[in-house]
């Protein structure tokens, strides 16, 4: 198995947003889409070869589902709100489940279970980021890899997000 995990973005129109704040359109945007996709690819590049179970926290519209289910034999996708049609994005041969989960709710994630956890654009929305980080660490199997990503918040980045029409960065 190759050490490189390449982002496989579904064709435009296949994914459904999970809520009104889902940034899905930006992954296909003609000007900034490359930046959104590159950010995900940088995170995927941090995943080591091997591993059996992956957890995606904040599955959203499912942008990463085809990529992660094509790489790992077991996939769990969680979010507070699940988009329609996520099961149709799962790669053949992967055992996948989608469920609602809250990082701050005790027992929502199994302990020491996942070889890799991917969590993009989630932690900045949680008031108790330390508690969320503890929950992620507890769900990670010994020797596992946690990859997180969140936007840099500054006046410049806030203005850049406003220019492309994304008003909810805080």
Reported as a single tens digit per residue, the pLDDT across 49-77 is 999 999 999 999 999 999 999 999 999 99
Please say if the pLDDT value at position 13 is more than 50: yes
Reported as a single tens digit per residue, the pLDDT across 138-166 is 999 999 999 998 776 667 666 666 766 66
Please say if the pLDDT value at position 168 is more than 80: no
| pLDDT the model gives residue 103 | 87
Percentage of the residues of the chain whose pLDDT score is greater than 70: 88
Cα 66 to Cα 98: distance, rounded to the nearest angstrom: 13
Cα 165 to Cα 56: distance, rounded to the nearest angstrom: 26
What predicted TM-score, i.e. pTM, was given to this entire model? 0.89
Classify residue 19 by its DSSP letter.
S
Reported as a single tens digit per residue, the pLDDT across 89-141 is 999 999 999 999 888 887 889 999 999 999 998 988 888 989 999 999 999 99
- Considering only residues 157 and 82, tell me which one the structure prediction assigns the higher pLDDT: 82
Please say if the pLDDT value at position 169 is more than 80: no
Please say if the pLDDT value at position 2 is more than 80: no
Classify residue 16 by its DSSP letter.
-
Query: DSSP secondary structure string, 78-126?
Result: EESSPPTTGGGGPPTT-EEEEEE--TTSTTSS-TT-EEEEEEES-GGG-
| pLDDT the model gives residue 100 | 94
Please say if the pLDDT value at position 1 is more than 60: no
């Amino acid at each position: 198995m190759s050490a490189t995990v390449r982002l496989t973005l579904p064709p435009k129109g296949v994914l459904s947003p999970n809520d009104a704040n889902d940034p899905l359109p930006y992954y296909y945007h003609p000007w900034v889409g490359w930046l959104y996709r590159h950010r995900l690819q940088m995170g995927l590049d941090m995943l080591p070869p091997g591993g059996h179970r992956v957890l995606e926290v904040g599955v959203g519209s499912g942008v990463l589902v085809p990529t992660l289910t094509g790489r790992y034999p077991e996939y769990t996708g969680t979010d507070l709100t699940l988009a329609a049609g996520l099961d149709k994005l799962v790669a053949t041969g992967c055992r996948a489940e989608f469920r609602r989960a809250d990082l701050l709710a005790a027992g929502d994630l199994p302990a020491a279970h996942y070889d890799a956890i991917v969590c993009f654009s989630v932690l900045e929305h949680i008031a108790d980021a330390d508690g969320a980080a503890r929950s992620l660490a507890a769900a990670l199997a010994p020797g596992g890899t946690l990859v997180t990503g969140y936007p840099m918040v500054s006046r410049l980045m806030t203005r850049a997000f406003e220019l492309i029409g994304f008003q909810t960065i805080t």
